[in-house]
């Protein structure tokens, strides 16, 4: 069939600007989605191209197929405020000189039905004469949530829902989390030796893992809405927390947990573009005003013991439209986030070396029973250069 035979060629000739797909953002084809038709896989691949681009909107891909089975247009979500996947696919079809009357639209998320920064995609599909829409999954946004399908059906368009649902939800796990839990999907990244040390006892940590692993870590930063660290890491390592080692169409929001407002005004984290968000437990006006003058947003969310209320931070980040939160912090803050049940999955890079006594991944209390261990499930295990990358999810955490 023409559609299947020419998919590789279509990737080369697409009129959309496709970003390089980082290995970090490409889930393995397993489970029910492994046997999907090629056109669904193409729509999902297009959605992957939007992962580093579309936040806070979901990453969506759309493919248009003519009544005769010819692929006539394709597109993915653009940067916030710009066109959605369906509109990009319709523009692509027009640029190729194809009529869309009677065509089928394969889209990885329910077309929107509300007026936001852009117009409703449902209206664009109806106006284009689309006859059928095959959508992977319903949009969890309460402003849509089935209303898009209702509007399409009311216009006489046939609607099918389900193919590619698992993969589409996984691509947009942060968006689904924010819509359904009102908090971001929290992914904690650590890099350690095989015996679990993230730094020597004297604090030296650069570099335990390879350049390949560090570049891969930046690919995960690039897909996140925000990157969070603690004041201990800022004072010890002076990180930038921006994306430098892979191409990036936007920089993630940078966040510091700083209970006592100790962030230096000349910290590297201020040098990248965009505002830095600082969460604190301090009400001291002098450092607050100094950091605000430096370009920081300072939010006071005090918790117990003079520390920041981390659960309140997650709720606030949900309100601030953070979909995926990428944590790169020290063992103390890591431990606090884990103890409070705020981490959804762990991104762990293991280097093939032994360091002996040093700093661990998490400061956790001693357990008296193995039954009290935090149960995880491995999502993937891959070689990245000489290192091993593990993705482990808290059991049941994705069931929301």
**Alpha-carbon distances of 314 from 172, 189, 207, 327, 367, rounded to whole Å:** 18, 17, 30, 12, 26
Whether 86 is catalytic: yes
297 CB-side CA count, 13 A: 11
DSSP letters for 91-110? HHHHHTT---TT-EEEESSP
Q: For 397, left (φ over 0), alpha (ψ -120 to 50), or beta?
A: alpha
Point out the catalytic residue in the list 45, 86, 324, 345: 86
SS3 203: coil
Token code pair at residue 132: 């059928």
d(CA 101, CA 87): 15
For residue 97, the tally of other CB atoms under 10 A from its CB is 7
Which candidate, 323, 263, 260, places its Cα nearest to that of 295? 263
**Active site amino acids:** 86
């Amino acid at each position: 069939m023409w559609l299947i035979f020419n998919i590789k060629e279509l990737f080369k000739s697409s009129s959309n600007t496709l970003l390089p797909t980082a290995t970090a953002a490409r889930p393995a084809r397993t489970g029910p989605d492994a046997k999907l038709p090629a056109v669904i896989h193409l729509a999902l691949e297009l959605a992957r191209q939007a992962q580093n681009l579309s936040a806070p909107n979901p990453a969506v891909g759309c493919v248009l197929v003519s009544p005769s089975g010819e692929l006539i247009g394709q597109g993915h979500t653009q940067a916030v405020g710009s066109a959605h996947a369906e509109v990009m696919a319709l523009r692509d079809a027009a640029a190729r000189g194809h009529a869309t009357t009677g065509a089928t639209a394969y889209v990885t998320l329910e077309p929107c039905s509300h007026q936001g920064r852009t117009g409703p995609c449902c209206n664009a599909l109806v106006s284009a004469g689309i006859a059928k829409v095959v959508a992977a999954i319903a949009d969890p946004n309460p402003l849509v949530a089935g209303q898009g399908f209702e509007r399409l059906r009311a216009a006489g368009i046939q609607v099918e829902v389900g193919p590619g649902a698992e993969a589409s939800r996984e691509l947009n796990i942060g968006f689904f989390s924010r819509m359904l839990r009102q908090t971001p999907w929290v992914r904690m990244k650590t890099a350690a030796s095989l015996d679990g040390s993230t730094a020597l006892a004297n604090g030296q940590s650069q570099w335990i893992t390879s350049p390949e692993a560090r570049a891969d870590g930046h690919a995960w930063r690039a897909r996140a809405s925000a990157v969070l660290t603690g004041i201990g890491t800022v004072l010890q390592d002076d990180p930038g927390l921006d994306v430098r080692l892979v191409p990036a169409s936007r920089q993630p929001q940078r966040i510091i947990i700083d209970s006592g407002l100790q962030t230096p005004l000349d910290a590297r984290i201020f040098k990248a573009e965009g505002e830095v968000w600082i969460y604190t437990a301090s009400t001291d006006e002098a450092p607050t005003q100094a950091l605000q003058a430096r370009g920081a947003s300072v939010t006071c969310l005090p918790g117990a013991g003079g520390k920041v209320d981390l659960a309140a931070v997650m709720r606030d980040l949900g309100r601030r439209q953070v979909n995926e939160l990428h944590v790169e912090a020290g063992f103390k803050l890591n431990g606090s986030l884990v103890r409070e049940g705020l981490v959804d999955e762990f991104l762990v890079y293991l280097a093939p070396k032994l360091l002996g006594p040093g700093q661990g991944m998490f400061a956790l209390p001693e357990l008296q029973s193995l039954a009290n261990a935090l149960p995880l499930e491995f999502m993937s295990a891959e070689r990245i250069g000489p290192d091993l990358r593990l993705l482990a999810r808290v059991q049941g955490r994705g069931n929301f």
